[in-house]
Each structure stands twice: as C-alpha cells, then as structure tokens.
C-alpha cells in the first residue's frame, strides 16, 4: 500500500483509480441521510487500520469492502482513502459474521443473538436466513416477533445491496447511488431500467449527460425516441435556466436538440409530437413562430395574465382619497417637497389597482413609495411589503420603516414540499401589496405571488427596468410595462442631492450610452476608473485595493464592506479565480480549513448560498460568514444576518465563496463598496445593462478596474439577448 504525503490525489495511471479492499473494523461516522461515511478497515498485510471515506447507504463492522478511489492527506486526520466507488459485502469468516450481525445492522439481532446464530449455524448463517429462515427458530430466544424482525431486516439489506451492485455496474458513483436509493427506495432498479433519463429530472448532481451515459451503458440505442424525448426536455430546461427563455421556437428547438443528440431530425420531430401528446410539452402559436414550452412555464405565463385580468376587474379597496389634500398632508408629515412627477404618480397610485413604478438611481422611487405608504397607512389600509431576496427585503424595511419579507417567506413556503401555502385558496390578507426589485422576479415566482393576491387588493410593482433581467426565465417587469394594461410611472428626474453622487451620474450616463464622468485629479468622488491593460494587472490591482488601499484610505472592512462584482465566473478576472486570490489575501488557510466540492472553506470566510433551501430557510443569493467548523461532527456553522444555520459537510455544495460574485448574483443587493473588473476577456458578457447593474449596487464607493476599451464596448452594446416569452402577448389580450 502506497501513501502520499501530498494533499493532491495520486492516480493509478492504468485504471485511473486505485483499489483498496479490507474488513471493516470500525464505523467512525455514517450519515443515514446522505450516506457519507468514515470507516476503519483492516487491509491484508498492513499493521495499521486504513481510514476510508465515501458514501454507502449502510455499512457495519465485520463487512468486507472493496473501494476505488485515491489516497489523500488530510491535515487534521492524516492519510485517508477517498473512495469514488464503495462496495460492501457480507463477511465470510465466523469472527466477521458475528461482528457484522452483532452491530445492529439487521433488526432483531444484537451481540447476544449474533453469537448464538454463529454458534448454531457457523459460516452458513447467511444461507439459513435467506433460504431456510424457519430454522432460525431453532436458536434459543428467537420467537415469532424476533423471527419476523430478522427476516424483514435481512430483506431490506438485500434490496439495498442489489440496488448498489446494479448502479455500480452502470458506472454510477456511490454518492449518486445513495441519492438514487433515497429517492426511489426498493423500486430503484425497475424505475431506472424503464427510463434512466428520469434521473436527470429527479436526482441532484445527475444531469442529462450523466443519465445519457447510464442509459447507453444499459444498452438503450443512441437513436431511440426515449433518448430524443429526454434530450428535448434537457434543451428546454437549459434554455430556461441558462438563457432565460420561457419557450423556444420549434425550429430552434429541433436545431439545438440535433446538435446535442446527433440523431435524425425526424426522430426528434416524432419525439416532440410524443411529448406534446403526453402533455410533457406545450405547443403555442406566437406572432413569429410556433413555440414549445415546458408545461410549468406555459402555465406560469397563463396564470400571470389571468391574475392581472382578475385584479384589474375591480376598484381599490379603500375610501376615495383626494390626491391634492393627501399629497400636501404627506409632504408636511415627512418634511419633503415632492416633484411634480412624484405628485402625479402618487395621485395615480391612490386610485390604481395595478401600477408599475420604474426608474434609475436617485430619481425618487423610495420617496414616492414612502409617501404612498404613509398616506394609505393613515387610512388604515392593510399593506404588505416584499422583495425577491433577503437583502432586498431588509433594505426595503430600512427605507420604509415597515416590515418587508422575502416573497418565499411571505408565501409561506413548505420546507417538506417546497410548495407555497399561500395561494388562490388561501390568499394573503392585504389591501395593497408592494413588490420591490421586480426586475429580479421570474415567471414562476411572479405567478405564485399573484395567485395569492386577493381579488380586492391593489399591487404596486417597483423596479429598475434597465437592470439585468431575472436570473430565472422571462422578462416579467418589462412585459408589465410594455403590455399597455397597467398604469406605468417612469421617473427620470435625478434630484439635486442625488446628482452630487458620481455613482448616480455615472449610472445615468452609462444608461444613455455615454462614458461616465470621472473625478479629476484632486477631486473627491465616489466613482473611479483605474486603467489596467492585462488581466494580471487588473487582478493584482483589485487584491491590493481590497486588502490594503481602501481599508487604509477610507476605513472600510475588507471582507464585510467591499464586494467584488465580476461580469462572469470564468477567466482570470472572473468570480471563481478572484475568490481564490482574495481568500488567500484576506483569510489565509488555517488548521480549521476543509476542502469540499473543490472549494476550501475556513473560519471567517464570506460565503453565498446558491440554491433555495427551504428546510434551512436560506435562499439563493443570501450572504453569510462561517463562524464554526466541527470536523468531528462534520458540520459548518454559517451566520446569515445574525441567524445561525448548520450545514453538514455533504451539503457544502450549496455554498460558494463570496469575496467576489457575479453581477447577476448581486441583483437586489447593495454594498458599501463595489469593485468591478472589466476586460475584453469577458467580451461575451459585456453589455450596457450588465455594467449599469453592477455600478448601481454600490452605495458609498464604486471602482471599475480594467481596460477603457472594454468599458466602452460594454456601454455601447445595448443589445440584450432576446428572451423568448409569450407573457406580453397574453397580457395584451
């Protein structure tokens, strides 16, 4: 056996993975939920026990294991064998059998009965349990109840092992095999045999390509209609999640599926017809083309349009208010002077069932909303405030002085099902719903929220339509504005106090397509551009700014106050690379550090949640700080806005470092200081709305570092990728 003192795995050049076999002496840790385990095994010819880490639904002392993986060196625990495939077999020796049966693995058998069974039947005990279980009653103390428990427990173990053997034979790793078993239980083999592509829909970590590999290993023909149908769903899902499309034109879908599947076009067309026939796809006529939807997105569009029509059919649910008197009253109450555009908007809001308020930074959206809220609150109107993210909701609470919730919390998401408990049957209790940061709201979330609005209630949608569209599918806010069925207030006047901010002036100039004004030498400002030509210079400048220059000059906390926002994840100036460099500079690795899913986490690291977790009540985009790592319990404690959340090591794929993040991920958030790297390396992402969104995230200081040419390119390119959607068409109807 060869051990490595390096932290990098040593690969067997012949097989790609090293092999290790041995008898399980001790189970140090095993998670029933995830299958993650740490076991000590006795390897033939070795004096010391070897530590193996991996995944398996069940493992007990006395069993025999066969592993494929790599040796690694863990600074805390020393040498470990990290297994990719971990097969567990019943023991063959009397000693091993007794240890196995006595471990509690089989219900009804403990150490005492394990000893009696081995004494009675010797090495044939497993054959007796499986083939002639009635003979178990020959053992003293085994009555009908214990007999039934033993037979049932043995059957459960056999099912688990058969499933694992089946999945391993089709090159499914043990970790994924455990997830599959947890999802399908004893029916796993039959379900996968009928349609292996179902794994791509149901199992986290298995996409279409992985499911396709499994299917081809199982002998499913490359040109089968089953494969074509799965590929079509995958193309639509990717178009939705990566490009924001709610649907695709039929011709475009066929072309993309053909590139993915490399199969005859007729087979793809037949598969599309079959998907439509079985309601797995929806076909709908658009002005430009026949388009195809995944059902959930089609019914989201239909649901939104239906809700808008329903809400527009009645008048506001509060007594008539004289706008002139109300506006004069609120100006005095808040000690403000509203602009004429704001007064007009407030007057309309007091008599509108549905209204959109849009505009850039410094145009008075917050003042307008506060004025409306203060007037209606005085009339005892029931008001609810919400926003798509925790940070946006918190900021809304701070600016209005009223409680604001995330949309998920407002709709009372169920941790068990992920479904919302507030809906058409159980609507929200309000007369007015105000939704902030609506540019972030995608079709599915918008539909769920509007379904929960009671018929009598009014809705005010607030957002900046010039920002990036939602990460999820659709262009909800712009469709509302352009459909012509809703009152729209576009605020454009930048107020004098706001105009003193270089950030706000820069944002408005960028939005108009002009290079932003910059403070001259000797001038103080809050928006700066530092010209650097190479990616290496850009990166080193940003690290210096975060680590030294900005904290020394302005007193900012380098981790809590400063956020680097990148146009993309990839490249040297992308979020992934920047995170590693900034982590190394700001929070060098300590003995507490752990590496999971390719990321090293340590105490005090800034992290971001990248998917909704209803059990933990944390959502995509939430930012927290690591305040505890327990290697013995294999847990990490992360604090989000004063609330502690515990993750097992196996759940750390839900977190990424957040010293740097993408501009897309920053939507709805504000930071004291924003630094934006920009270079022609990122040319695919350089669009005006991207830079505009990044700049408007900064409250006190924004610094753009990079090539002037790249910034010019971004500002001049106002072409945003067309998102295929039918919502505007449905709203117009």
The DSSP string of 233-281 is HHHHHHHHHHH--SEEEHHHHHHHHHHHH---HHHHHHHHHHHHHTTSS
Q: Confirm or deny that 364 is annotated as ligand binding.
A: yes
Find the helix packing angle between 295-311 and 443-451, rounded to 10°: 40
Residue 729 CB partners (closer than 8 Å, separation 6+): 286, 287
Do 633 and 622 touch, CB atoms closer than 8 A?
A: no
Residue with tokens 């769903």: 233
Cα-based distances in Å from 540 to 63, 308, 530, 571: 53, 51, 12, 14
User: If you ran DSSP here, which 8-state letter would residue 413 be given?
Assistant: B
The DSSP string of 341-409 is HHHHHHHHHTT-SEEEEEE-TTSSHHHHHHHHHHHHHHTT--EEEEESSHHHHHHHHHHHSS-EEEHHH
Structure tokens at 457: 């209630």
Reduced to 3 DSSP states, what percent helix, strand and coil does the chain have, rounded to the nearest 5?
A: 45, 20, 35
Structure tokens at 76: 């805390």
Separation of first and last alpha carbons in the chain? 73
For residue 37, the number of C-alpha atoms closer than 13 Å in the C-beta half-sphere is: 29
Reduce the DSSP state of residue 343 to 3 states and report it: helix
If you count them, how many residues does the chain have? 733
285 bridge partner residues: 290
CA torsion 610-616-619-622 (nearest 10°) is -80
Structure tokens at 139: 């053992």
Closest CA relative to residue 267, chosen from 301, 226, 218: 226
Alpha-carbon distance 545 to 178, whole Å?
Answer: 45
Q: Confirm or deny that 205 is annotated as ligand binding.
A: no
Alpha-carbon distance 517 to 695, whole Å?
Answer: 13
Alpha-carbon distance 24 to 65, whole Å?
Answer: 7
Do 397 and 404 touch, CB atoms closer than 8 A?
A: yes
Do 607 and 594 touch, CB atoms closer than 8 A?
A: no
E-strand spans in 274-382?
Answer: 282-285, 290-293, 354-359
Alpha-carbon distance 677 to 686, whole Å?
Answer: 11
Q: Confirm or deny that 365 is annotated as ligand binding.
A: yes
Find the helix packing angle between 144-169 and 174-184, rounded to 10°: 130
Return the number of other C-beta atoms located less than 10 Å from residue 509's C-beta: 16
Alpha-carbon distance 74 to 684, whole Å?
Answer: 40
Alpha-carbon distance 209 to 188, whole Å?
Answer: 19
Q: Pairing between strand 432-435 and 458-463?
A: parallel
Alpha-carbon distance 90 to 68, whole Å?
Answer: 18
Alpha-carbon distance 272 to 362, whole Å?
Answer: 49
Cα-based distances in Å from 569 to 206, 575, 662, 686, 704: 22, 5, 6, 13, 17
Q: Which residues are annotated as a binding site for ATP?
A: 362-366
Q: Which residues are annotated as a binding site?
A: 362-366
């Amino acid at each position: 056996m060869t051990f490595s003192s390096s932290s990098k795995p040593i690969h067997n050049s012949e097989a790609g993975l090293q092999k290790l076999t041995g008898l399980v002496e001790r189970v140090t840790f095993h998670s029933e939920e995830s299958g993650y385990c740490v076991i000590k095994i006795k390897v033939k010819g070795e004096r010391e026990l070897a530590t193996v880490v991996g995944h398996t639904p069940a493992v007990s002392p006395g069993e025999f294991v066969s592993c494929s993986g790599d040796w690694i060196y863990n600074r805390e625990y020393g040498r470990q064998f990290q297994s990719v495939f971990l097969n567990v077999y019943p023991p063959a020796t009397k000693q091993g059998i007794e240890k196995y049966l006595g471990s509690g693995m089989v219900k009804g058998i403990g150490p005492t009965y394990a000893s009696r069974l081995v004494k009675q039947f010797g090495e044939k005990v497993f054959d007796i349990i499986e083939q002639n279980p009635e003979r178990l009653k020959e053992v003293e103390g085994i009555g009908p109840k214990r007999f039934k428990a033993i037979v049932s427990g043995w059957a459960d173990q056999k099912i688990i092992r058969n499933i694992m053997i089946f999945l391993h034979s089709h090159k499914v790793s043990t970790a994924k095999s455990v997830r599959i078993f947890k999802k399908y239980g004893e029916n796993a083999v039959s379900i996968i045999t009928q349609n292996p592509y179902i794994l791509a829909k149901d199992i986290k970590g298995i996409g279409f390509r992985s499911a396709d590999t499994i299917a081809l290993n199982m002998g499913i023909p490359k040109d089968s209609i089953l494969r074509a149908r799965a590929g079509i769903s995958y193309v639509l899902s990717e178009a939705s999640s990566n490009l924001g499309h709610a649907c695709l034109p039929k011709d475009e879908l066929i072309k993309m599926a053909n590139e993915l599947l490399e199969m005859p076009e007729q087979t793809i067309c037949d598969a599309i017809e079959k998907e439509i026939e079985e309601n797995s796809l929806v076909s709908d006529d658009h002005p430009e083309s026949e388009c195809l939807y995944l059902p959930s997105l089609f019914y989201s569009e239909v649901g939104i349009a239906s809700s808008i029509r329903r809400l527009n059919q009645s008048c506001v649910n509060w007594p008539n208010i004289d706008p002139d008197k109300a506006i004069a009253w609120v100006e005095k109450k808040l000690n403000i002077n509203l602009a004429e555009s704001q007064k007009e908007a407030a007057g309309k809001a007091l008599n509108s069932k549905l209204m959109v308020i849009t505009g850039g930074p410094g145009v008075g959206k917050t003042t307008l909303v506060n004025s409306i809220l203060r007037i209606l609150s005085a009339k005892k109107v029931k008001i609810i405030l919400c926003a798509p993210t925790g940070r946006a909701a918190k900021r809304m609470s701070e600016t209005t002085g009223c409680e604001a919730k995330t949309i998920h919390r407002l709709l009372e998401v169920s941790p068990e099902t992920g479904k919302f408990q507030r809906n058409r049957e159980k609507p929200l209790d309000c007369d007015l719903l105000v939704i902030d940061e609506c540019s972030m709201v995608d079709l599915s979330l918008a539909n769920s929220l509007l379904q929960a609005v009671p018929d009598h209630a009014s809705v005010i949608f607030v957002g900046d339509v010039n920002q990036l569209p939602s990460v999820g599918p659709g262009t909800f806010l712009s469709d509302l504005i352009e459909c012509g069925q809703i009152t729209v207030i576009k605020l454009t006047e930048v107020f004098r106090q706001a105009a003193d901010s270089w950030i706000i002036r820069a944002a408005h100039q960028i939005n108009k397509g002009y290079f932003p004004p910059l403070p001259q030498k000797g001038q103080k400002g809050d928006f700066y551009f530092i010209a650097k030509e190479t990616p290496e210079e850009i990166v080193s400048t940003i690290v210096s700014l975060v680590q030294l220059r900005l904290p020394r000059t302005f007193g900012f906390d380098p981790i809590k106050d400063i956020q680097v926002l990148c146009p993309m994840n990839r490249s040297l100036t992308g979020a992934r690379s920047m995170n590693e460099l900034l982590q190394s500079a700001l929070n060098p690795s300590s003995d507490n550090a752990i590496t999971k899913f390719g990321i090293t986490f340590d105490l005090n690291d800034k992290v971001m949640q990248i998917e909704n977790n209803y059990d933990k009540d944390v959502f995509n985009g939430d930012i927290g700080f690591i305040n505890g790592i327990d290697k013995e319990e294999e847990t990490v404690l992360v604090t989000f806005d004063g609330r502690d959340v515990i993750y097992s090591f196996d759940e750390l794929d839900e977190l990424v470092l957040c010293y740097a993040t993408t501009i897309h991920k920053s939507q709805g958030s504000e930071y004291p200081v924003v630094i934006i790297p920009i270079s022609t390396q990122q040319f695919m992402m350089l669009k005006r709305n991207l830079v505009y969104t990044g700049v408007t995230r900064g409250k006190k200081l924004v610094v753009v570092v990079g090539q002037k040419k790249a910034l010019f390119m971004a500002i001049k390119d106002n072409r945003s990728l067309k998102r295929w959607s039918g919502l505007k068409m449905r709203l117009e109807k």
